[in-house]
Amino acid sequence: MKPLEGIKIVEMTSFIAAPAVPRVLGEWGADVIKIESLKGDPSRTQGGVWNIPYSVEENPGFDIANVNKRFVSLNLKSEAGKEAAYKILENADVLVTSFRTKALQRLGFSYELLSEKFPKLVFAQILGYGENGPEKDAAGFDATAYVARGGILTSMTEPGESPLNEVNAYGDFQAAMCLASGICAALVGRNKSGKGDKVTVSLHHTALFMMNIAIVASEYGNKYPKSRRKVANPFNNTYKSKDNRWFVFCAPEYNRDFNKVMRMLDRPDLIDNEKYRTVERVNELGVNSEIIDIISEQMAKKNLDELTRLFKENDLAFEKGYTPDEILEDEEAWANDCLRKVKYPTGGEATLITSPVRFKSISSPPMNLSKPLGYHTREVLKDAGYSDERIEAMEKDNVLICGDN
């Protein structure tokens, strides 16, 4: 039995962060119903922004956050559409939404109203900035609330260089995993108390949590952005090989490994060197740049393959900086089912990423591709007690879209 089998999740979401939450929970066995407007989730047409081709039948950019769902299209601004959504929610366990709080209040789907109508419902919401403060009602996206206000934009670059150009939706998926964990905890709590809960995750708070060390350390004078020539531990840094590839080697125990690394890099003359032997001495004397330059010079004498072999043989963590196209060829990713080939009705093929949490009870989590707007509207409403005649009348009145027509 899958961990979330028997759990019904309804979502009212758009773009990436919030839709990715039920997508993951669907892999874990939940029945997910996505309610979209008559125009649909804007993410259905974002493929062009990400240089990913899209069509009704082949839409990998949408599938990224929308596999393993049933798709319903309702006009929630109409009384009939709102009533249909309430019927769907009657036996739901969780509502996931990215709608802003004021919009939910206007539509009649606020936490206060829904918790009164459905006391056992877990209400889960992705926010830009949180429930309080001057920005609580402001628009918040991954690039602004997470990357910019979260400090990532200005911390992950060389001093004096242009800011980080973040990968699309980088923070969205992190916020999604946070909310997924919160939902699971709320379901456990409901099993004990019999009552639902409200769970919120903001993009801004998620970024601050991921930046934990940098923010706390800044209180003590540890400034970011940090030059690679001034890092506190020269053995946890970026370097470049003879064939011009950047890589990272990470040896947190600098003092233990110093002599070993000097031998590996053909600098036995520096073994037990008083200036460089311990990380405390390096930072006390401020000679970080000196030893980093020495290491850089030695690294630049060897090609990436030779360095990779050398560090792996000596059991020191080392990885080249993979490009996304290299990741698609990474045998480690394929061996662990991180990547999954999917086929579309058009004959097209794409590689999608599975969620990172694995259960022994689910050897290979499903990846059921998305369907056109409103594809399951009739099926879901009939399950809720609506007749075909009523559904057809509602479609004529522009209350819903039945994509199975």
234-258 tens-digit pLDDT: 999 999 999 999 999 999 999 999 9
- Contact predicate 22/11, CB 8 Å: yes
How many CA atoms, within 13 angstroms, populate the side-chain half-sphere of residue 317? 10
Our count of domains for the chain comes to: 2
Average pLDDT of the segment spanning 8-15: 98
Are 314 and 359 in a shared domain?
no
Are 345 and 312 in a shared domain?
no
Are 261 and 306 in a shared domain?
yes
Are 202 and 266 in a shared domain?
no
Q: Which amino acid is at 297?
A: E
Are 119 and 178 in a shared domain?
yes
For residue 256, give its domain range. Answer: 246-320
What pLDDT does 405 receive?
57
Are 206 and 265 in a shared domain?
no
Q: How confident is the model at residue 165 (pLDDT cuts 50, 70, 90)?
A: confident
Q: Is residue 351 part of a domain?
A: yes
- Contact predicate 94/10, CB 8 Å: yes
207: pLDDT strictly greater than 60? yes
Domain's final residue, options 297, 320, 343: 320
Q: How confident is the model at residue 49 (pLDDT cuts 50, 70, 90)?
A: confident
- Contact predicate 54/383, CB 8 Å: no
Catalytic sites, residue numbers: 172
